[in-house]
């Protein structure tokens, strides 16, 4: 075996073992432990509402599983198209919001 | 022994890789990037799924919501008694909950009203909140808020109390009595928990109205039967069982990670085509190399073995480094940038501390999407040039 293959085998072993070490480390420190799980369960027992608080603007995500039947239509990321809001055309972006009276007086 | 790994061939493969350093380093980089991106997406979605599923059992078995003209509608408090009469139902709890739009930040808070703020819920509340002094939290005119809400209110100078704007335009002042623990952040970040009376007042609902009813069924086997009985009593209601919730979760995450799987499939095929194209249009130099090796007495089998080692070394290194990057990116650095895909543009961002869960399926899936494909894409063209007669290649 020459130097290069020794290096290669060394690097491979190092990488594999570091993946394993990382997995063990994460398992010990980052996974949900029993105490945390009990706290979560206690919270959910009180509120009895499902779903995670990862997005709060759109109602279909927060308590999406219980949300309004139609909120999904207008807000969902997998937006089901409904005429004509989002289909192929939108309102003019050069539309002037200033009243014409104001423009004319200038 | 024939099947023994030939160290000399490995050595040759390493040397041959190093001879075309830049090309191979580039391929390695692309592989690392692809695997780590895909693995990160799967890790994030797996963790969220794990978080949801680990608490799924705690949720009520059946939720009943009234629909009128396809929209949510308030139920009557008296409906609860009818449900309690059904055999198999161990408990039915009326709930008042909804969203409160906080215009200053442009966010929705989830407001949850609770009836027995003191008696039934006290023990569980102690577990779920940071507040040690419960006299303050259980004070009649106070609320327990999630960390995100607390932060949002503080930014708007509401340190001790908050003024809710009622539907009629008047204010309702409620004190902040406590904060939920950080460990429940993924669930409680935007939540405000307060006595039911105040919730009704904020929503402008009448005293005998409720938002929905949650039902507990003693025997899990009976859930479908009880659900169908409820449906008969309330034909206008939406009866949601915990099985439905589970399916809904599955759909959300299948959808989000599905998009990325689709993107990845496109990119892996692009990658595959580039590699295949490059290798099948093997440079005359490489063809010559194979020709020389064959002239020196190498069998086709040996050439293919050497090519196999070559591609295996590259793709396996790419895979391992990719997984390593993804693990540390998602669980140690909490997936900056990528988590936005899953959280959206929310103002009330959670800290996004994802629980670690090792999912072997994902690791295998990514392995089989990268390593064998890459190996195939290098072996097939070299097999083609290895089978051409030696003198033709050399000439």
pLDDT tens sequence across B95-124? 898 888 888 887 888 898 887 665 667 777
- Model confidence at B229, in pLDDT bands (50, 70, 90)? very high
Quote the percentage of chain B above a pLDDT of 70. 90
* B284-307 residue pLDDT tens: 777 788 888 888 888 888 888 888
Q: φ and ψ at B73, to 5 degrees?
A: -140, 150
Domain ranges of chain A: 1-31, 33-78
Q: What is the pLDDT of residue B327?
A: 92
Residues 110-169 of chain B with CB under 8 A from chain A are 110, 112, 114, 121, 124-125, 127-128, 146, 148
* Statement: residue B236 has pLDDT above 90: no
Q: What is the pLDDT of residue A85?
A: 47
Question: Contact, B227 vs B92, CB < 8 A?
Answer: no
Residue with tokens 């089998």: B301
Q: What is the pLDDT of residue A87?
A: 47
More confident residue, B318 or B259: B318
Question: Contact, A36 vs B354, CB < 8 A?
Answer: no
Whole-number Cα distances in Å, A87 to A70, A75, A83, B177, B390: 18, 14, 7, 47, 61
DSSP letter assigned to residue B87 = T
Question: Contact, B272 vs B379, CB < 8 A?
Answer: no
Distance of CA B281 to the CA centre of its chain: 42
Distance CA(A58)–CA(A71), nearest Å, equals: 8
Distance CA(B142)–CA(B177), nearest Å, equals: 5
* B174-185 residue pLDDT tens: 998 888 888 888
* Statement: residue A86 has pLDDT above 60: no
Q: What is the pLDDT of residue A88?
A: 47
B95 interface with A at CB cutoff 8 Å: yes
Average pLDDT, chain A: 73
**Two tokens, residue B314:** 């590259």
Residues 15-54 of chain A with CB under 8 A from chain B are 15-16, 18-19, 22-23, 26-27, 29-32, 35-54
In B60-181, at which residue ranges do the beta strands (DSSP E only) sit? 62-68, 71-73, 75-76, 89-102, 107-114, 142-145, 161-165, 171-179
Distance CA(B336)–CA(B78), nearest Å, equals: 49
Give me the mean pLDDT over the A63-69 stretch: 70
Cβ neighbours of residue B53 closer than 8 Å, sequence gap 6 or more: B246, B249
Substitution target from A53, A68, A70 for chain B, most B beta carbons within 10 A: A53
ipTM of this model?
0.76
Q: What is the pLDDT of residue B1?
A: 45
Of A26, A50, A57, the CB nearest to B59: A50
């Amino acid at each position: 075996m020459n130097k290069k293959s020794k290096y290669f085998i060394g690097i491979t072993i190092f990488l594999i073992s570091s993946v394993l070490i990382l997995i063990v480390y994460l398992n010990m420190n980052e996974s949900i432990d029993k105490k945390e799980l009990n706290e979560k369960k206690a919270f959910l027992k009180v509120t009895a509402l499902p779903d995670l608080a990862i997005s709060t603007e759109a109602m279909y995500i927060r308590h999406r599983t219980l949300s309004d039947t139609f909120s999904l239509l207008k807000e969902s990321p997998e937006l089901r198209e409904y005429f004509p809001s989002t289909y192929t055309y939108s309102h003019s972006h050069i539309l002037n919001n200033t009243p014409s009276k104001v423009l004319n007086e200038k | 022994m024939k099947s023994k790994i030939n160290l000399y061939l490995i050595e040759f493969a390493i040397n041959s890789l190093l001879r075309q350093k830049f090309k191979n380093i580039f391929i390695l980089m692309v592989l690392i990037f692809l695997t780590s991106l895909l693995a990160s997406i799967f890790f994030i979605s797996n963790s969220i799924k794990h978080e949801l599923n680990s608490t799924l059992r705690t949720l009520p078995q059946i939720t009943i919501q009234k629909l009128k003209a396809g929209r949510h509608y308030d139920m009557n408090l008296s409906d609860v008694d009818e449900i309690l009469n059904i055999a198999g139902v161990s408990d039915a709890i009326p709930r008042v909950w909804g969203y409160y739009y906080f215009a200053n930040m442009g966010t929705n808070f989830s407001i949850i009203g609770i009836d027995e703020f003191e008696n039934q819920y006290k023990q569980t509340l102690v577990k779920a909140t940071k507040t040690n002094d419960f006299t303050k939290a259980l004070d009649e005119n106070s609320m327990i808020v999630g960390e995100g809400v607390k932060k949002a209110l503080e930014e708007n100078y509401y340190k001790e109390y908050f003024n809710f704007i009622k539907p009629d335009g008047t204010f309702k002042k409620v004190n902040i009595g406590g904060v939920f623990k950080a460990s429940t952040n993924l669930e409680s970040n935007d939540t405000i928990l307060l006595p039911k009376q105040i919730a009704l007042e904020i929503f402008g609902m009448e005293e005998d109205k409720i938002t929905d009813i949650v039902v507990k069924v003693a025997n899990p086997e009976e859930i479908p039967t009880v659900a169908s009985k409820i449906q008969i009593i309330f034909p206008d209601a939406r009866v949601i069982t915990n099985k439905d919730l589970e399916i809904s979760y599955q759909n959300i995450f299948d959808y989000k990670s599905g998009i990325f799987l689709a993107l990845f499939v496109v990119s892996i095929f692009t990658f595959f085509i580039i590699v295949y194209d490059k290798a099948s249009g093997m440079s005359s130099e490489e063809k010559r190399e194979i020709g020389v090796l064959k002239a020196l007495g190498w069998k086709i089998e040996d050439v293919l073995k050497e090519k196999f080692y070559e591609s295996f070394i590259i793709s396996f290194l790419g895979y391992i480094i990719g997984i390593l990057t993804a693990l540390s990116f998602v669980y140690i650095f909490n997936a900056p940038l990528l988590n936005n895909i899953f959280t959206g543009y929310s103002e009330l961002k959670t800290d996004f501390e994802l629980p670690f869960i090792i999912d072997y399926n994902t690791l295998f899936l990514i392995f089989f999407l990268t390593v064998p494909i890459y190996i195939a894409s290098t072996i097939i063209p070299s097999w083609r040039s290895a089978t051409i007669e030696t003198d033709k290649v050399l000439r």
